[in-house]
A and B are shown apart, each in its own frame.
Chain A
Amino acid sequence: MPAQISAFNDNQQRVSTQQLLQQIYAALEAGETEFEVLSSGHHNIGGPLWTQNGEPLRFRVKNPGQRVGSFGLDGTEIVVEGSAPADAGWLNAGATLTILGDGGDTTAHCAAAGRIYVAGRVGTRSGSLMKHDPAYEPPQFWVLKNTGSFSFEFMGGGIAVVCGVDCEGFDSVLGDRSCMGMVGGTIYVRGPVRGLSDEVWLLDLDEADREFLLAGLPVYLDKIDRPELFEELSDLGQWHKILAKTYEERSRVQHLTMREFRLREWVPEGIFGDVVTDDYEHVAGLVNAGADRLKIPHWQDKRYAAPCESSCPTSIPTQERIKLLRQGKVQEALELVLRYSPFPASVCGEVCPNLCMDACTRQYIDKPVAMKELGRLSRDAAAPLPAPESGKKVAVVGGGPGGLSTAWQLRLRGHAVSVYEADKEVGGKLRQVIPTERLPAEVLDNEIARIKNLGVAVHAGTKVDQELFAKLRAEHDAVVIASGAHSPVVIPFPGHERLVKGIDFLKAINAGERPPVGERVVVLGAGNAGMDTCLGAYAMGAKKVTAIDIQRPAAYQKEIAHVEALGGEILWPFFTDRIDEKGVHGKDGRLIEADTVIIAIGERPDLSYVPREWLSIKGMMEVDDCRQVTRAPGVFAIGDTIRPGLLTHAIGHGLEAAEFIDTYLRGEPLVAKKKPEIVPQECLSKELFRPQNRGRFCVIDAKSETNRCLSCGTCRDCSMCLEACPEGAIRRVEMDNGRFEYVSDDHVCIGCGICAGICPCGVWSMEQAV
């Protein structure tokens, strides 16, 4: 006779769960092993209870509360007659729990051993967190009908069987969102399943599954007393099995890869495919060769002019000449200069202010390259061979530096040239006004002989008037107006008639006439001509020479220094009021005492021999950018006839005019030339040149200067780039004409810019591709 445990006391009042459970403990102590429990919603009936001798315990429970069978141990068997509320079989550790009705929510929650048989439905979250302790048999959880939603959440082990009986019309016999977080265990299910977690597989049964079910079903159906269902349930074709994905299976990408998505799903060829050409398979690195470079190097020899070349009015490319010298090509170097100027010794070597040296990059390292010495090297150089005779004739009016330069250049180009000079010998101001201490006569004579020897016909002592000019024009294919400026400018101050004209004064000196001067001389005008006049005055015996000017002296510093060394003085600003026997009176009342006052503020051209309409309103020749007289095709004008300038300007004009005339004579259209841009100093790696100590600096010889020259803008072939290129992308290529070039291989070059950054000459430039 089982122990009778009742929910009610003698007064028919409900006892507490604690009192009811105490009744069970007392009976167990008394040796009872079978219990009939009439509960009234009392919790926790059935476990954890045991006998010392291992004798099994049996409970029949009516109307239990929550957690019936919880903590149940091996050897405990509990039968609930009817339904059980929530948590039946909670933490089951080995008991057999049979519920003959429905199970509530979370039935078999956390069950880790034993068996739970339910004869009806179970509520939500049933089977959640079931586990399997490998030291024991796995727990089993059998449900005849269906589960609520969220069943088998976080299931970690054990076996659940949901038979799906009496579920017609259900979407899912496991409710919705079953098996969320399930990591282990097996669920056998018969009937439709929806909303399963994607962490599990829904599989067909294998042989072992079938064996398990066919062995287990009779036992289960016997427990719940429904053996008649065996036939229906043993049709295993309706069953499936749910297994959790393994750890490895879970981490596998379930979606398409982005590559697959782009290629299979996305707009073919991309949404920008019609407006942008781009291959998305190509992903550049941060450093690239080829097309993805941010910068592209170009070896651009002579793209920039050197400062010397650019500042020289005659555009003599000294860096080029030095390069030839450096290469040992002395003849070519000397000849190169003669192709620019017939006066390298007289002008470059003596009288030129050498603007090239003022611009020379080397001055920023130590001292400029010695250009004067380079010029003198060409003193005795032979003239280049002229081109074959063209059959064209050109007349040049004026045998000064400009006219002779034009004649020289035209002759080199194979044209017949006649120079008409009013003076008795050509040379112009070089001969007439430059003090001989600045320009030794034999140097000039030598160079003028070289011009004549080239075949330039000279008609000295021939002043060109209107009549002759018209004749010249008629008889020649082109005419050059190069008659210079010889009419002194005089300002009509009171007493201006006392003024000596500077140019006449200098001409007289050079003609050997020794014009007289007083002891005190004032020169009006402190330009270069003014300084020459000062020197002339000293040479003629003056004791004290003062040059005055209304503005900062325009003369070059070395000219001024020359005069000052002789005791001369430069005064400015000085505004002349009048001139009388005492000297020069300033508007401020100052008086500079003078015995002789010479005016040297410039000269105007005498162009009375050309039609007036060819002149500008300033009385100068009006020419276009090609030095051609605007109103007279075939007539060209240069030098002081178009604007006052230096000797070297006149020589440069001669070169330019000759080039244009050559083009003109070939019948081709004239196009003005653009001077190449001067090399920016920051392109030159001057640091590669070791400065010489200025304190003990001296020019050794022209040859030693060649290495000092940076070769601005012109490759000096040092191969720094070739050595420094980190990718070895640069090679030096010898060409058939004896020249060379450096080439960067686009397929190797990464566009780092090291070649350009270290080039001493600024020859490499980086094209900014981005």
Chain B
Amino acid sequence: METMKIHDVTANDLPWKIRYDASRCTLCGSCTAACSFRAIAPKVERRRLVWSESEYPEPKSRYSAVPVIRQVKSIRNYCRGCGICEKVCPNDAIGPVRNLDTRHPIVTRCLAGDSIKRGGRKNLEATTRTLDKLRIGRISQMTDPSLDAQRHTFDMLAPFGRILPPGKLPFKVGADGRLQKDGQAPPVQWIYPVIIGDMSIGALSWRMWEGVAMATAYLNEQCGLPVRMCSGEGGVPVRLLKSRFLKYMILQIASGHFGWNRIVKAMPEMIEDPAGVLIKIGQGAKPGDGGLLQAQKVAAHIQAIRGVPKADLLSPPNHQGLYSIEESVQKMFLSFNAAFKFRVPVAIKVAASATSVSVFNNLVRDPYNIVGGFFLDGIDGGTGAAHEVSLDHTGHPIVSKLRDCYLAATTQGRQGQIPLWAAGGLGKTGDLAADAFKMICLGANGVFTGKLILQMAGCVGNDMGRCNACNTGLCPAGITTQEAALAHRLDPEKVAQNIVNYFLAMDQELKKLMAPIGNSSLPVGRSDALVSTDKAVAERLQIQYVC
């Protein structure tokens, strides 16, 4: 007799169970053909019936063997709940069901002897987000002129670059009594207050990455929204570097320094400067941890652009050549300012943490005028791959940390000199305009977003453990994969169109929020516009408590 043993993996150990109704199934094979996780498979099932119809026991039996679809019971190929089977089933015969009794966190560790890795966001908290406890409570009515979102011109621009206070601007009064330029001012790009966050060409499929880049260009050239996209660490396609679209791109350098060889080599042929450079020190989703591109995603073109063989690509948690904040300013900022002859602004991205304000305070001094922005990335941000323990248990929420940094700058009278950009789960509920607006009122100059972009493109995952398999390279939507057959599922034009449409909608919504508080430019630091029904939040953020 073949039987299960107690240590054999069963569906009940896994995070999702497959609901299957053999009576509805036509065995069309769509579900098993479409499942990229190999989590379901055709099998034969026995059907056996023993009965007696006589007035006395007269056994009869019937036996049949029936092909069916069965869940694969494996900790390697397990159902991620992506629901592609349900999507493709013509008869609603199959679909994933969340398994509340899952033993997956234990079984996986016991069997694999390795940490659990996944993509997505922190999945533990289901409580109301801080941002949802804030309302825009100061509505202009009779007291001051409100604006009309449709009619008014809004100055929706945020700085990327070092802003000098008026007294420090390089001007002098000339002999003729007129103002003359006296030296080079730090470069500043005035851009849309929502940057498409840093997702690398390794993390995303080429179709996805190109779709995002195309959306960025389209938003600029067709819609007039000066949206910028950050390349992510891991290189930039050379054709893009040599195109006019480079001016919409913020190039990232992180601890792995991946892809910079081709960027530097392309410099003599660049016809535009990039929009900026972003030095990534840390990431909100997995602070203290470096990038993790698992070998299954290191496709040939990634190997070429990055100059590495196929292997798990780990970026160190720290930049190898840096030992202190002061040094990082001097070395990294100086180097990347110099890389483009001080024409291109350079900013830094750090993970929100208990010490972020100290880091920011150090940068705010900036005697060399080379710190072009402080990007603060909170927990709740997404990642293509991380250790689950880092995702779920490390990090710092963005809201209070951004507020602290802003207030630290105002205390010194230096607010706005180093632009503050915030991220970390913004747009998590699907409504980025509201989140961005609130963060701006709390002191951000702008926000950046990554995971939401994936969701615009068709990501089927969510923050309740659905899919979250970006690290496997088996993304069923073709977004975070380097497998051609999966990437082909994604239409880069549709990706671009969705992003463009979302930005256009968000643009209207941002105006809808700016109008009632009477701001025609971004209400940076206008915390008087916010109220909170949560006393602790109100107190912590120094805004009005209402009830």
Chain A residue numbers with a CB within 8 Å of B209 are 272
Contact A726 B28 (CB under 8 A): yes
What 0/1 readout, one digit per residue, does chain B (220-234) give for beta carbons within 8 Å of chain A? 011100000000000
Chain A residue numbers with a CB within 8 Å of B206 are 272, 276, 278
Chain B residue numbers with a CB within 8 Å of A294 are 33-36, 485-486
A754 at the binding interface (Cβ < 8 Å): yes
Cα–Cα, bound, A292→B486 (Å): 7
Chain A residue numbers with a CB within 8 Å of B476 are 286
A474 at the binding interface (Cβ < 8 Å): no
A271 at the binding interface (Cβ < 8 Å): yes
Contact A287 B34 (CB under 8 A): yes
Chain B residue numbers with a CB within 8 Å of A689 are 65
The smallest beta-carbon distance between A479 and chain B, in angstroms, is 49
Given contacts A153-B151, A255-B223, contact A271 B239 (CB under 8 A): yes
A752: contacting residue among B30, B489, B500, CB under 8 A: B30
Contact A271 B222 (CB under 8 A): no
| Most interface-central of B87, B88, B214, B497 (chain A CB within 10 A) | B214
Contact A271 B210 (CB under 8 A): yes
Contact B243 A753 (CB under 8 A): no
Prevailing SS type, chain A contact patch? loop
What 0/1 readout, one digit per residue, does chain B (14-41) give for beta carbons within 8 Å of chain A? 0000000000001111111111101001
Contact A272 B237 (CB under 8 A): yes
The smallest beta-carbon distance between B296 and chain A, in angstroms, is 10
Cα–Cα, bound, A273→B237 (Å): 9
B238 at the binding interface (Cβ < 8 Å): yes
B305 and chain A: residue at smallest CB distance? A275
Chain A residue numbers with a CB within 8 Å of B31 are 752
Contact A753 B301 (CB under 8 A): no
Cα–Cα, bound, A668→B150 (Å): 88
What 0/1 readout, one digit per residue, does chain B (90-120) give for beta carbons within 8 Å of chain A? 0000000000000000000000000000000
A687 and chain B: residue at smallest CB distance? B44
Interface positions, chain A 731-763, Cβ under 8 Å from B, are 750-754, 756-758
B88 and chain A: residue at smallest CB distance? A286
Contact B218 A261 (CB under 8 A): yes
Cα–Cα, bound, A273→B84 (Å): 29
Interface positions, chain A 60-115, Cβ under 8 Å from B, are none
What 0/1 readout, one digit per residue, does chain B (484-516) give for beta carbons within 8 Å of chain A? 111111111110110010000000000000000
Chain B residue numbers with a CB within 8 Å of A685 are 43-44, 65
Contact B34 A265 (CB under 8 A): no
Cα–Cα, bound, A276→B484 (Å): 10
B273 at the binding interface (Cβ < 8 Å): no
Contact B88 A687 (CB under 8 A): no
A201 at the binding interface (Cβ < 8 Å): no
Contact B27 A726 (CB under 8 A): yes
Interface positions, chain A 283-321, Cβ under 8 Å from B, are 283-288, 291-295
Contact A280 B207 (CB under 8 A): yes
B323 at the binding interface (Cβ < 8 Å): no
A655 at the binding interface (Cβ < 8 Å): no
Chain A residue numbers with a CB within 8 Å of B368 are none
Contact B33 A287 (CB under 8 A): yes
What 0/1 readout, one digit per residue, does chain A (254-285) give for beta carbons within 8 Å of chain B? 01101101100111011111111010101111
Contact A287 B88 (CB under 8 A): yes
A768 at the binding interface (Cβ < 8 Å): yes
A769 at the binding interface (Cβ < 8 Å): yes
B45 at the binding interface (Cβ < 8 Å): yes
A180 at the binding interface (Cβ < 8 Å): yes
Contact A757 B245 (CB under 8 A): no
A25 at the binding interface (Cβ < 8 Å): no
A181 at the binding interface (Cβ < 8 Å): yes
Chain A residue numbers with a CB within 8 Å of B392 are none
Contact B33 A750 (CB under 8 A): yes
The smallest beta-carbon distance between B287 and chain A, in angstroms, is 31
B493: contacting residue among A180, A259, A274, A727, CB under 8 A: A259
Contact A284 B488 (CB under 8 A): yes
Contact A758 B488 (CB under 8 A): no
Cα–Cα, bound, A272→B240 (Å): 8
B145 at the binding interface (Cβ < 8 Å): no
Given contacts A258-B497, A275-B304, A685-B44, contact A754 B88 (CB under 8 A): no
The smallest beta-carbon distance between A387 and chain B, in angstroms, is 44
A724 at the binding interface (Cβ < 8 Å): yes
A769 and chain B: residue at smallest CB distance? B485
Contact A181 B150 (CB under 8 A): yes
Given contacts A724-B67, A752-B29, contact A258 B214 (CB under 8 A): yes
Contact A754 B29 (CB under 8 A): yes
B29: contacting residue among A266, A283, A727, CB under 8 A: A727
The smallest beta-carbon distance between A456 and chain B, in angstroms, is 46
Contact A752 B32 (CB under 8 A): yes
What 0/1 readout, one digit per residue, does chain B (358-374) give for beta carbons within 8 Å of chain A? 00000000000000000
Cα–Cα, bound, A258→B210 (Å): 13
B67: contacting residue among A180, A282, A285, A754, CB under 8 A: A754
Contact B214 A266 (CB under 8 A): yes
Contact B486 A770 (CB under 8 A): yes
Contact B29 A750 (CB under 8 A): yes
A177 at the binding interface (Cβ < 8 Å): yes
A150 at the binding interface (Cβ < 8 Å): yes
The smallest beta-carbon distance between A345 and chain B, in angstroms, is 33
A690 at the binding interface (Cβ < 8 Å): yes
Contact A292 B218 (CB under 8 A): no
A364 at the binding interface (Cβ < 8 Å): yes
Interface positions, chain A 687-737, Cβ under 8 Å from B, are 687-690, 724, 726-727
Contact A754 B485 (CB under 8 A): no
Chain B residue numbers with a CB within 8 Å of A287 are 29-30, 33-34, 88
Chain B residue numbers with a CB within 8 Å of A181 are 150-151
Contact B301 A750 (CB under 8 A): no
The smallest beta-carbon distance between B302 and chain A, in angstroms, is 9
The smallest beta-carbon distance between A762 and chain B, in angstroms, is 12
Cα–Cα, bound, A133→B245 (Å): 51
B46 at the binding interface (Cβ < 8 Å): yes
| Most interface-central of B43, B88, B490 (chain A CB within 10 A) | B43
Contact B213 A757 (CB under 8 A): no
A770: contacting residue among B151, B221, B483, CB under 8 A: B483
Interface positions, chain B 119-160, Cβ under 8 Å from A, are 150-151, 153
B386 at the binding interface (Cβ < 8 Å): no
Contact B34 A687 (CB under 8 A): no
Chain A residue numbers with a CB within 8 Å of B44 are 685, 687-688, 757-758
Contact A757 B67 (CB under 8 A): yes
Contact B87 A286 (CB under 8 A): yes
The smallest beta-carbon distance between B211 and chain A, in angstroms, is 9
Cα–Cα, bound, A271→B201 (Å): 11
Cα–Cα, bound, A295→B494 (Å): 26
| Most interface-central of A154, A282, A286 (chain B CB within 10 A) | A286
Cα–Cα, bound, A43→B220 (Å): 49
Contact B485 A293 (CB under 8 A): yes
B474 at the binding interface (Cβ < 8 Å): yes
Chain A residue numbers with a CB within 8 Å of B36 are 294, 770
B304 and chain A: residue at smallest CB distance? A275
7 contacts between A and B (CB under 8 A): A258-B218, A261-B221, A276-B301, A278-B484, A283-B494, A688-B44, A753-B42
Given contacts A726-B27, A752-B31, 18 further A-B contacts (CB under 8 A): A177-B153, A256-B218, A261-B222, A271-B240, A272-B301, A280-B491, A286-B476, A287-B34, A288-B488, A292-B488, A688-B65, A752-B33, A753-B32, A756-B42, A757-B41, A757-B43, A758-B42, A758-B43
Q: List 9 A-B pairs, minimum CB-CB distance, nearest first.
A: A752-B29, A757-B42, A275-B301, A284-B488, A271-B237, A687-B44, A752-B33, A255-B222, A271-B240
Residues of chain A having any CB pair with chain B under 8 Å: 150, 153-154, 177, 180-181, 255-256, 258-259, 261-262, 265-267, 269-276, 278, 280, 282-288, 291-295, 364, 685, 687-690, 724, 726-727, 750-754, 756-758, 768-770
Residues of chain B having any CB pair with chain A under 8 Å: 1-2, 26-36, 38, 41-46, 63, 65, 67, 84, 87-88, 150-151, 153, 206-207, 209-210, 213-214, 217-218, 221-223, 237-240, 243, 245, 300-301, 304-305, 474, 476, 483-494, 496-497, 500
